[in-house]
Amino acid sequence: MDTQDIVVWIQTWVSERRSDPSVVITEETDLYKSGLLDSLGIIELIESLEDEFELMFTEEQMQDGLTAAADFAKVILDQA
């Protein structure tokens, strides 16, 4: 698994929630600022990532402003 695999997983997850298969997400896409997710959506994404990748995001990591796909991928890969 690498960063791109995680970005694709996030893109699929966001596309399904927004019912919009045309959503394009890159490593740098800020999911919050782009309007793809609101603050509740970010929390739901974190919960889904924790379930999918069998890990836990720490409170500190969540307070560091996880909003870009690469931010989430780094946390996941650091715990792999």
pLDDT, tens digit, 9 for 90 and up, residues 12-62: 999 988 877 788 889 999 999 999 999 999 999 999 999 999 999 998 888
Q: Measured between alpha carbons, how far is 24 from 3 in angstroms, rounded to an integer?
A: 15
- pLDDT for the residue numbered 41: 94
Residue 21 structure tokens = 């298969």
Q: Measured between alpha carbons, how far is 24 from 14 in angstroms, rounded to an integer?
A: 9
Task: Pick 3-14+28-79's CATH classification: 1.10.10, 1.10.287, 1.10.1200, 1.10.3470.
Answer: 1.10.1200
What is the residue type of 49?
A: L
- pLDDT for the residue numbered 49: 96
- What residue segments make up the domains of the chain, in order of their start? 3-14+28-79
First-residue to last-residue Cα distance in the chain: 9
